[in-house]
Structure 1
Amino acid sequence: MAIPQHTIDQILDRTDIVDLIGQRVKLKKSGRTYSGCCPFHQEKSPSFHVYRDKQYYHCFGCQANGNAIRFLMDIDSRNFIDVMKDLANQTGIELPKDNIDSKKLSYKREAVKAKAVAPSHNKKQANSSSSTAPKPDTNTQVIDPAPAFDVDPFEAFQNFPEFDDSAFGFDPEFNPGIQAPIEQDGNLYDLLENVAQYYEKQLPHSHVAQHYFRHRGLGAETIKYWRLGYAPEDWQHLEKAFPQDIEGLKLLGLIRTSDSGRDFDLLRERVIFPIRDAKGRVVGFGGRALNDEIKPKYINSPDSEVFHKNQLLYGLYEGRKLKAQNWLMVEGYMDVIALQQAGIPGAVATLGTASNADHLSTLFKQNNQITIAFDGDAAGQKAARRTLDIALPLLNDGRELKFFIMPKEHDPDSLVRKEGLETFNRLWQQAPLLSDFIFALLSQQYEVTTPEGKSQVMAELNQLTDLLPKHGSYRYLIRQFFKEKLGFNKKWQPQVNLDASLSFNIRTKDEDFAVAMLMHHPYLYIHFEVLRALMPADELLAQILAKFDSIYDDLPDDQELATYYVLGACSAYHLELSEIMQRTNIQVLTQAPEMADKLASECSLSLQEKFLRQKLKKPSSLSESRYLRQQLNELTKKIGLKLINE
C-alpha cells in the first residue's frame, strides 16, 4: 500500500503525541514539555521529553526520537503500514486501499487530433516541423500492417512542389491517418500550477483587473509575489487553453456541467487569488467578481483530492517563507495581502469558512501567541463568541490568544492603508488578552455591580472555563482573575510593598520569585516541578516544591482555598514566606492569568539553566556530565526560541 505524503501529514496533524505516548509512559508536565522515564532504556531519573507543539519526542539518555509513527513502530516492533492503519482509524482519516486508490491525484489526458501540416515548398522547414512533433508514447503498441518503405510516402508526397493536390479535391486540413499520441496521465498538482500560470498571463490583458488591484493599493511586486491573475469572461476559456486536461479540470471543480449538459468554467470575469498549501503547491483558487452585479462576490474552488478548505489558511505558506513571528488571523485575502505589503507578513485568512479548531491548531504550531481580528459590529461580536468555544479547548498552558477588535468602518486592509503601519501595530499591541476580552464581553451582558449580575457572570465563566484543558493552571488562574475583578477574595490579601519595582527580579533572586508565585498561584507548580531533580535539597524553594509534590493532587479547585491549603501545608516556613511576600509585588505582576503563566515559565527556564550549570561544575560521572550538557543545550535552544517569538 502506497500512502501519499499529504495523507501522512494530515494524520500526524490530527494526532496528539502527548495523549498517544501518555497511554504508554507516565508523563508529567514540565514547563511547555512533558517528561517521563524513557520506555526504550532503563533509567530512574526522567530524560524522555515529549513536545506537543512540535509533535516530537526525544530521549537525552539513549537518543531515541521521532514522531507518533516512529514511537508506535519502535515501542511495539510493528511495521509502518500497521501503525498507519491504527492512527488512521483513531483520526478518522481514510487510507488508500490499494495502489489504484493512491492514484487519485492522476487523471487521463485526452488525445487531440493534430492539424494537418500544410504542403511545404521548403524541405528544411518541413524537417524542422517534423522534429518538434510530439514524441510517441513508448507504452502504446503500434501496429503497422502496411509494407515497409525506404521513405515515408506521405513525407515524399509533401516534398513535390509541382504536385497540385487541390486538383483531386483533397481537404487541405486533412492529415491522413496521423493522430497526436495520447500523453501519459496528468497530475492534479501540475495542472493547478499550469492554470495558475495561465491566469497570471491573462492579467496584463485586462485593464479592469489591473485597475482593481491598483485601486486596492497593490504594487507590481506584491502582485507578482502573490501570483495574482485574471479569469477571462469566456465561458470555456479553460477548455480552449487545456483541451487535453478536461477530466482533470472537472475533478478540481474548475469546469462545471450545467443541467443541460453543457460544460462551463467556474471562474469567469474575476481577479484570481491562487491558494497554496503549506508546501507552496497551488491547490485551488479564489475569485473576486469585477462586476458588482455578479453574485456571489467571492468564489473558491470546491473541495477536491488536493484542496480541503477547512484545513487550509491563505497566507500561511507565504508567512512562513518570510519567517513571520507574530500571527494574525483576518477575514479576507486582501487583508492578508495588504498587511504583508505594509510589512506584516504573519496575517492569514480562512477560505470562506468560519475559523475552526484545525485552523487555530495550525497557527499555534507557528507561535504560542496568536491574535484573531474581528469587525467591531454585532456580527463581529457573534463571531468572536463562537471562536471562544472553539479556542478554549486548545489553550494549553503557555498558549496566549488575543482578540483584535477593528475600529468602526475599518477592516485590517483599510486600517493599515489609511491609518498607517505604526497605528495598526499600536492597536494590535493594545488588543485585549482572552481573559480581558471574556470579562468585557460578559460585563456588557450583565450588571456586575449587583450580586445577581456577579452570579450570572460567574455561571457563564464556569461554563467557558470547563472547556479549557483540565490539566493545566490556566482555568484556575482565569477564575481567580474574575473573582478579583468582581470584588471577591477580599479576606486574604498579601501585604504588598507599593514601592516595590515591577521589575523586582533585579532586587529579588529567582528562587524567591518562584516561591512568591507558588504561594499566590498554587497551580503554577506544573512549571516548577522539573526543578526538583536539579536543586540542592536545602534550598527553600526545593523544600516548598517537595511539599507541593505531596499535596498537589489534593489542592482544592477554588483558587482562594488552594492558597489557604498551601499556606497551611507550608506553615513551618511561615516567617520566610511572609518576608518574601512583603517585599515582592507578585499580586500586581501576575494580575492577568496569561502574565502569571508567562512569568512562571520564564522563571522556571532561568532556574533550570542556573542549576544545570551548577551541577555541570561537579558531575558525579562522565555519563552524567554528557547527559547534563545535552539537557543544557536543549534548554538553551528553548530559551532562544522563546526570545525570538517574543
Structure 2
Amino acid sequence: MDIQNIKSQLTITEVLAYYNLQIKKKHVNCPFHEDKTPSMQVFLDSNSVYCYSGNCSKSGKPIDVIDFIMHKEQITKHEAIKKAASFLHQDTKENTIQNTNPLNKTFSILKNQLTRSRNATAYLQTRGLSKLKAVGSNHRSGNDKIQYKYPHLKNCLVFPLKDSKNQIVSFYGRSFKNDIRNTHFYTSNRQGLYPEYPNLETHHLILTESIIDAATLVLHAKLPKHTHVLACYGTNGFTKSHTEAIKQLKQLQIISIFFDGDTAGHKASVKLQSQLQQAFTTLTIQIIDTPKDEDINSLWINNESQELFTHYLQTKIPAAEKQPADNTKPTITLTIKGSVKHLGDSLKVTLQSQIEQKSIIQKLDVYDFTALQKHAKDASKRLELSEDLILKAWQDYVPTLEQTQTKPTTPQKKPLEKATQEQCISFLKDPNLLQRINIAIEKVGVVGEENTRLLLFIIATSYQSKQPLHGLIQGSSGSGKTKLLQSIYNLIPKEDSKSFTRVTESSFYNYNEESLRHKLLCFEDIDGLKEEALLALRELQSNGKLISSTSQKQESGKIQSVERLVKGPIASLSCTTKGDYYEDNISRCFVVAVDETAAQTRKIINYQNQLASGNINLKEATKTKYFIANCLRQLQPCQVVNPYATAIQLPQNIHKLRRLHSMYQVLVAQITYLHQYQRKKDTQGRLITTPQDLQYACDILLDSILLKIDELDGSLRQFYEALKTHFKPKGETYTFNRFEIMQKTKISKTQLHRNLNKLVELEYIQQYGYANRGYTYKIVHWDQYDVLKDKIQKDLQAQINTIKS
C-alpha cells in the first residue's frame, strides 16, 4: 500500500487513540514537549495535527499520520509507513492503486469525527460495535461541507458501500437519534455492497437483512475460511449488484439467508430462497432459523457468544422440494374504484389489484409508463409477483378502461315525491309569496329585520340567473351578521350552495371548470380574504369566469404554459365588520346593515329566552328549511322581460349609479322569477314583470339605496342616529362624554372608540379637551337623514303609482 492510500484510510483520531491521547474540544496535549494546557490542535479535514507552542520542536508545520508515528516512535519514515500499514492490517505491497476517489477522503473525515460524538459512540456501544473501525459519524457539529453535501445523513453513523474494485461508491446512514421514525438513509443513486465484494475463493456466502447485522457477524462471529458476509438493504433489498457478485463466485457452494426472526423476515427469506434457487440451481440455498423477534445484532447483545453464531450457521431450513413446472400464470383481478377520468393525454383511475388474499389499491395514470413502473414496484412487494407481470396486466386492461371512462357529473336536483311537488307549487302560487317567505325566514331563527332578510333571500336565490346578485352584510363584531347569513344559506338547496370560513389565495383558480357555475357562495368573514382571493371573487362577480395561465409539466418532461378556465356566474353573500370595505368589492354588492338598535336587541334576547325555555319548535324550523329548499328546486331557469324598465329612476346622487341601476333591474327580474307560477309569459316564453314586482323591489331596497347615498356605513349611521335622538332634547350645543354615550347606546368600549373617531374625522361631531383629562364631544352636523329617506321613498312611490295608473 502506498503512502497516499495509507493517509486516506488511516485517520488521525485512530493514531491519537493508539497513543492514548484524548481529544478535547479539537485539542490534545502535545506529546513532543511538556504541555499542561493542550496546545496541539486536531484538524479532521486535513487528517493532521498542528502544535502552536513556541516550546515545541515540531511546532510550525502540520503533522500527518505517518509523520506523527515517525516522531512519536523516533523511527525512520520507511518504518513509520510500515507501522501505519500495520494499523490497517494490510501489507504495504498489497495495494498500489492511486487513491483518487473523493468519497475515500470524505469517509476519512467522517471516521475522524466519530470520537467527537457522544451520541454516535454511545449508539455503537449499545449495539456491541464499539470496536468497529470502518464507520464514521456525520453529527450536527461535524464538518460543515459534508453536512451541506449529505444533509439526509445528519446525525447518522455512516458505513461505506464498495464496488468490485474495493472503492467506496456510496454511503449508508444509520440514525443514532431516537426521535426519528425512519432510521435508514442512503446517498442518492445507491450502489455498491457492504462490507465489500466477496473474495473469488468464497465457498459459503451469508446474506443478512441489514448492514448492522453484517457488521456484527464480521466483528464477532468465528467465520470459517472462505466464508463471506454480504448485507441486503432490508427484506426487499437484494439487488442486481448482489446477483452479479454471486455470479463471479465460481467456487461458491452454499448461500445462507440469515434474516430477522419476525414475520417480515421469515416471509422475505422464503421469497429470496425461491428466487436464488431459480437463478442458481447448482447451489444449496438455506435459511437460518433465527429465534422469534430476534436478529443477528440482538443475539450478540443478549448473549455475546461466538459459539451461538456457529450453531445457527450450521442449522438450516431445507429448500422447498421442487414442484413440477407449472406454466399457468397467476391471475390478477383488477377492480375499478370510483370513476375513470380520460383527459386526452392521461387516463386516471383508482385500481385495486388482487391475487388470492393479497390486494393493493393505487391511483394510476395508465398512460404514464414511468410512473406506472414505480407503482408496479410497490404492487410487486405487496402481491409477491414480478413487476413485469403486473405491468402487463395493467396495460392489457387499458382498452377496458377507455370504454368505461366516466366524465365529471354536476349534482342533479333532488327528486321529490309528487305530493311534495304539489305542496311546493301551491306555495309558489300564493299571491302573498314574499310575505310567506319572510315568515319562513323568521321560523328558522331570524327575528326582526324583515326587509333585510327578504332582500338577502332574493339575492341568494339569483344563482340561476345569467346576472346573479351579490350581498354584503355589514355589522360590528357580535351583531349577529353571521347568524343572518347562515340562516339564509340553510334555505338554499345544498347542491347549489357552498359556504366558506377561509379561502386561500389561489383556490378559486383551482376549481374544476363547472364546479362554481350557477352556485351561491357564502363567506362568513370576507375581511380575512387576501387580495389575490378578493381579485378572483371580483372577477367571478363581474365577468362570470376566471381564466388563468399556469405552467404544467408534460409527459415528455417539458414545462408548458396552459390556460385554466373556471366558469361562473355565481351569486354571493358576505359578512364584514369594516364599514369602509374595499371600494371595488362594495360597489358590486347590495349593502345591508345589521340592525344594532336597542329595539332589535330586545327582539333577539326575547327569541333566545324562548329558545332556552323550549318554546321554539326546532323540528318545525328544520322542516321549514327543507320545504323552502324544495320550493326553490321547483323553479325553472327562464328569461324575464320588464316592460317598465325605463319608468323607474333611482336618485341621481347615488355613488356609482350605473352599477346600482343594473343591480336594481336584476333584483326586479329575480322577484318576477320567484313568482314564475303566477306571472304571464310573452310569445317568446319570457316571464313578464308586473308593477307589483316593482313595488316589492322599491320597498325592499330602500335601506340599501340609502346606504349607497350615505357616507356613513350602516352601523356608524345607526350609532349617529342614536346620538342625535338622545342628545337633541338637551340642545344642539350640548357637550357629552363617552360615559354618557356608553350608558345610552350600551356598545363596547372598542366599538365606541372607533365610531367616535370616525365621526370626528368626518366632522359630524367635534372633540374637545385632552386625553389625560378625558374628551368631551358636541354634534356639529345635524343632517336630515329621516327627511332624505322620506323624500326618496315618496319619489319612488310616485313613479310606481304612475305606472299602476
Q: Same fold (TM over 0.5)?
A: no
TM-score scaled by length of structure 2? 0.26
Larger RCO: 1 or 2 (CA < 8 Å, sep 6+): 1
Query: TM-score, normalised on structure 1?
Result: 0.32
Of structures 1 and 2, the larger Rg is shown by: 2
Normalized per residue, which structure has more helix? 1
Bigger strand fraction? 2
